[in-house]
Every structure is written in structure tokens, then in C-alpha cells.
Chains A and B, each alone.
Chain A
């Protein structure tokens, strides 16, 4: 088998999407020698798929916006399950992070007075998403990529080589984290996809920024990279995952043709005026406004339509409810026989604004439907349905530093848990990865300060064992095809742990996963070590299985419905369950759950909500005293 190359870094960042690049930039700015490891080419991360924008209370379009209002919207969207400290840091720091991007060369759409424009989005009270048409994620990735290059140019000038302090290892996969005898992080082990060559990174600090888990589901908006690597690496290194039962199904994915089923249709379509209709032509969302949001959403089409131009005097259209609500509504319309020909519902902008404006506001959506489905969205409606989009759950981290429960391990972006509670608002992921990517970079640098030059050493035997494990599928003469196993895993999760869940089905899912585990253990990859996708998939399967088990187990345990976790057998939200966070850890090779109390919200943050609203979420004993509770919120700005 191949030889092993060794590298030494201060900080190794796994993942080169928004969170990874922002973390690496920060670690380098803190003077640390940093490696970025990417499964894909530099600049191809899944972040490019983010369309709508990055939420930040800049107040450029509506000056009433503030971090407090953003915080409140985020908590409402997450159904009060969010880590309050993370949501606070996020809302406070997002504006700075956006302005910093502009200073690095990002070109956001502008307001009339030349500032960054902001658009409406589901669950956000004011226009808040800084955006570039409907390709904001691409702008973000390109800007961070170009910032990395800029830092490399500075290092080239000063130190003689562009990669002296910051190097990208493209098309390289990490298969395991390395720890020292006391369990501290000591580095990472992986292989170069192009050659199959093994690599060892010795580093005291590792930042996970690997994104999500969507490839465990059949219908998903996620790319092949989303195999839950970081989640699984963290578990196997001894860290914990929280909130894994909360999986976001984006309400609007393409449903036809079959080959593109699941590809995202941006929420901006609705933010900019698009409406959802069923096969009877009815704007059905008016029938799905839940009690907790009743006061904030319009009851008639007239009122809803008035909101776009005059938000101060109208309530919001129900199409802009948080994603979990809209996804469930669409699911129900289809189930009750009012779906579109290909099993979705209709999303229409063509009757809502002139073709020219559609082309300007939603160019990539126009392009996508024209090219992939032969549908002209300026002339007719799109067909859309729910698609697995985002996992709220992830590595349990300290809000301020991004530190996981394993010394030296950090996590930012989708792979980290807590920030979004049970449901993420659109636009909050791009801001999340900037805010916490940076915080992880600083957190890792401070951790290194604390080590004072000491470098935890990985055990040599571990590296040999890992090389054996990785090479094993190639050496087997028998064993199943990884593509087949992957398909079965996806079908299992889609059918049994999908958007609507039932206890017995999830038990069945866990049994199926158990059987799949044995088959995956003897999977066979044909061919050689150089750029062999079958081999790569065979290795990724193990991660997808671990993550799927964590999701299924947590989903079976949480006996209530909340955000991205809907139980047919427990349809109500439970204030008692709200206080309980499920944390998954590995015991042997099985996932076990621990129960933790959710941190209480500080009184000044609690005061942003009125008592009546809080009483829908909190237990009696958590509620603030009845008097004077809702006056404070009005004063804060």
C-alpha cells in the first residue's frame, strides 16, 4: 500500500466551506501555522449552494432592526431550543462579519444610498439578509477563498513562500482524528483522493468544519460531501453530539425531473413575493399558521400582499413562516391529494412580478429551472416539495470558543450544534459560519497559548492501524458494492426517520441500520488507490451510519414534536422536553444518549419576549414574574 506523508501544523481545519475558511483565516491572522483540508477542490464547497443571503441586523433597509430583534427571531425559529449564548453572540457579531467580507472584496447588492441591501426571509421580522442576487453563498466562498490567497501573498512576500503559514490540501479526506494517551487531540489521519497516498497531520488543535449529513437521506439538497464526516470523527474521538433529532427539511426542493429531485429552490422566491398553491389553486398556507405564530401572520391574501410594500401596517404572508412549518404543510397537502402532478405543490412568481424583475432578482433560479426542468419560471409555476437540507444537531461546543468536550477539538458551522435549536432560520447559516468560524480560529489559538509549546503526540500504532482499516475495502475479494449499500441507507432514513416520524418505524430503522452496519464492515471496493470514487464511498459509509444511528436514536427518544422533529405519535410541543438536550456519545461502537438541561436564558434576553408568548414554550416555574416583564423589551434597541 501507499506510503505515509507527515505534516506539522499548529491548527488543522477540516473542511473548506465558509466555516472552515473563516476559521483558517482567523487562525493564520492569530499567527498560527494552519492547514485547510478539503474533500473537494478549493472553492467548491457546499456553501456555494446557499442562495438567499446572510442574516445580519445591519438595519440598512429598516432601521428598526437590531441584534435583539434578530436574537428573538432566531429563538422563535428554533422553538426556544437554541443555546441562548450562541444565539446572542451570533446576532451581535453577524453585522461586523458581513462588513468585514465587504472589506475583503465581496460585492453585495446595494441600497439606494449605496449601502449593503437586505432582503426579507422566512421568520425574520425585518429585511435582514445581505445578498447577491440568489448566489450569496458563492460570493461568500469566493471572497474567503480570495482572502486566503491574499494572506498567502503576504506570507510569500515576508517569508518567501505563499504556503509558509497557510496551506490548502485539496481533495484530501480525513478518516480519523488522532489523540494522545490522555485523550487530547494530536492530529488527523487521512488520504489524498487523487493518489490514495496516506497523510498524517500532527497538530494540537483541530477545527471541524465539515458541514452536514444530508447524504444519509435519499431526497436532499446536499452534495456528495455531506456524509457527516465531522460528526462521526467527533464521536469517535470521544466528543458528544447534541440535538441530532432535529433535521431540517427545506420546504422547497425541485421534485421533477427525478434526477434533480431535492435540489434547492431558494426561499428568496417566497421572500420576494412568490406564493404556494395546491392543485385546487388555493394559497393553502393560510390554513397552517400555528397558534404560537398566530399574531404575526396575515389572515387574508389582501393583508399578506400588502405586507411587501407596507410591512408596518400589514402582517406577514404565511408563506414566510419558518421552514419546518411550511415543509409540514406541503407534506400534508400532498398527502391529502392536493399535490401537483409530480408529487409537490406549486410555487409561483410568474403572476406576482414582471418577467424582467424575476430575471434580476432570481437569475439562478430561472437558469436552474430552464436548464434542468425546461420550465420558464417567468411564465408558469414551479413544482416543489420538501428536501433534506440541514442538520441542526452537531458537536456540543462552548459558545464563546467553539471548543468541543475533547481538549484541542473545535467545531464551527453546520457540524456544530446548539445555535439553531430545533429549527434554523434561512439566512442564519451563512452568518453562523462567519461568526463561529472566526471564534473557533481564536479559540484554537488561545488553546495553543495554554499548551505553551507542548505538543500532544499521536501513538505510532494508531497510524498503522488506521492505514490498514482504510486500505481494507480494496483488499477484499468478496463483499458488497458500496453504491448499493448507500442506496439502502438513504432509503431507510428517508422512509423511516424522515419528515414525519413514528416510534415503531424508528425502531425498525435502528434494526435496519444494525444490519447495514455488518454489511458495511465487509464492503468491497474494486480498482486501485488513485481517484477511486467507489473506494471513497466505501469509507464514507461508516460515517453516514454512525450519524444515522445518532439521529434515529435521538428522534426515537424525544417524545414531542418541535421544529425539525415531528412525531406523529407525539404531535404536541412539551415544555418539559424543551428543557432537555439529548447528547449522543459513542460507547464501544454504539451510540448512547445522555440527557442534559438546556441553559436558561438570561433575564435581560428573556425580557425580549412577552409573558404570553413565553408561556407557550416554558414550564410554569421558568416563567418570569407576571408583572413588568414585557415593558423592558420595548426600550431596548
Chain B
């Protein structure tokens, strides 16, 4: 057992500051264990969002010594023995309290993506898909929605104004996943560019770097999606079709009334 210095951001949406704590640390512990000890011994109302404590649910996202990480997977043994540990909430989202952010932006973006659309005449049990064909999407479906990629992405990290027109790596990856699904019949390429802001991404790979599931977001989802979008845009047949009015309705539109609603419905 040793004592460590923890600087923890305390405060609510309006104001806050780092508070310093001296806290006990035992062998094998992770940052989340230490935050729990703080709650049990010194700061009972310290707000921390967490669930599984096993890197599977993606709840305990925060910035630890400046790096976006899951607190449950940040082992204390990876810090130098006398290194202070500074824990702050994710910067891209509004703070609710202490280390807890309002991540509703992400749920809003999820709702704007046209859902999986199987062939109209297909029935449950009809699909025959090869492992090789589902494996690509399975990588994306490892996503635990910790939103660390969203948090680190420079398009929105310090640019609140881009949030409306940019869905972020997690949800562009979701678009890529649906576009690659062998049984999906929608075409989200146009809205990926026009509504979800794929063009903002300049493949700096920050998202890939912070992904706790080691998903190759940029290489395997975003770049292939960019290629698909370019294929559609510069395909001479598509161009011709749109000129003579044959392609009407081929692009799946943004689902109606999913973007502008903020007020809750009439009770």
C-alpha cells in the first residue's frame, strides 16, 4: 500500500477546479478503484459514472493525465511511483458534475442514421452470410460506446459550432457498418457526406489511438466510407442517371423529424 496524490476536477457545469487528495493505493488497482476509495473515505458525493468495471460497458470515460481513457482500464502501475494523477471530465461534452458529462449529443447523432434496412421481402432466418463478410462489421460492433473517439476528435473537441453538422467517428463508423452489411438495402453515402460531415474528417487517426477496443476506426471504417462516397459522387452512371431523372429516391434521406426536435412530446 502506498499513498498517491490525486487531482480530481470537482464542480458542476458552471464552475469547478482541481481538488487535491492524498489517497491509499494497493497492488493491482486501477484509477477507478482509487476514485471509489475516495468516495468511500473522503468525498462521498464525488460524481463518477461507471458500471461494469471490466472495460465492457464504456461508462467510465474521462481524461487521465490529459489522455482520454477508461478509468477501469487505467492501471496505477503504469504511472511513475511519484507521479501525481490528474483526472478531469471529457472536454468535448458539457459537464454535469465532477467527472460526469452530458453525452446526449451522441444519442442524438445515433438517431439520425437510417436504421438497418433488410430487403422488404426478407423474413427472419433468411439471411445466409459468410463469416468473411460479417467480420468487417463485427470489428465495428465491438464498440462499447465510451465516446472517447468523439471526445478526442479535433473537429468538435474545441469547435462547438461543428457539432450540428458532424456526427463524429463513432457514428460515421456506424454508417460504414450499415453500408457494408450484405443484407442492407439503404444507401447512406450521400447523407454521410452532406448531413453527417464525413468531409470534416482529415484522417488524423486520433480516434483510433484512443479506442479501448483497438478498433481501426480510421483505416477500416472512415477511409473505406470516404471511398464509397467518392465512388458514388464520381460514378458516370450515377451522374447520368441523376441528370435524366432515373435515380430518384436512390439516396436514403435523413429520417424525418429526427434532427430538429428538442422539446419532449405532449404528455
Contacts and interface: CB of A to CB of B under 8 A. Distances in A.
A149 B256 CA distance: 13
Contacts of B56: 48-49, 135, 138, 364
B47 interface: yes
Contacts of B181: 105, 107
Nearest to B147: A41
Interface string B106-129: 010011001110100011110111
A530 B103 contact: no
Interface in B67-123: 73, 75, 96-98, 100, 102-103, 107, 110-111, 114-116, 118, 122-123
A99 B75 CA distance: 40
B216 to A, nearest CB: 14
Interface in A98-117: 99-100, 102-105, 107-110, 113-115, 117
B29 to A, nearest CB: 5
Contacts of B250: none
B151 to A, nearest CB: 15
A264 B55 CA distance: 12
Interface stretch (B38-46, B188-196, B232-240): B38-46
A105 B115 contact: yes
Contact of A153 (B26, B129, B258): B258
Contacts of B111: 149, 152-153, 162
B30 A534 contact: no
Nearest to B28: A257
B257 A48 contact: no
B255 A372 contact: no
B13 to A, nearest CB: 10
B51 A223 contact: yes
A42 B103 CA distance: 11
B29 A533 contact: no
B167 interface: no
Interface stretch (B138-146, B156-164, B198-206, B220-228): B138-146
Nearest to A367: B55
Contacts of B96: 194, 530-531
A481 B40 contact: yes
Given A156-B258, A160-B257, A161-B265, A110 B137 contact: no
A372 B75 contact: yes
A291 to B, nearest CB: 37
A374 to B, nearest CB: 8
A532 interface: yes
Given A223-B51, A483-B39, 13 more contacts: A41-B103, A43-B145, A44-B51, A103-B127, A107-B181, A150-B115, A152-B111, A161-B257, A223-B57, A225-B51, A372-B30, A481-B40, A483-B40
Interface of A: 6-8, 40-46, 48-49, 96, 99-100, 102-105, 107-110, 113-115, 117, 132-133, 135, 138-139, 142, 146, 149-150, 152-153, 156-157, 159-164, 167, 194, 223-225, 256-260, 263-264, 364, 367-368, 371-373, 481-484, 487, 525-528, 530-535
Interface of B: 12, 26-30, 33, 39-41, 44-59, 73, 75, 96-98, 100, 102-103, 107, 110-111, 114-116, 118, 122-125, 127-131, 134, 137-138, 141-145, 178, 181, 255-258, 261, 264-265, 267
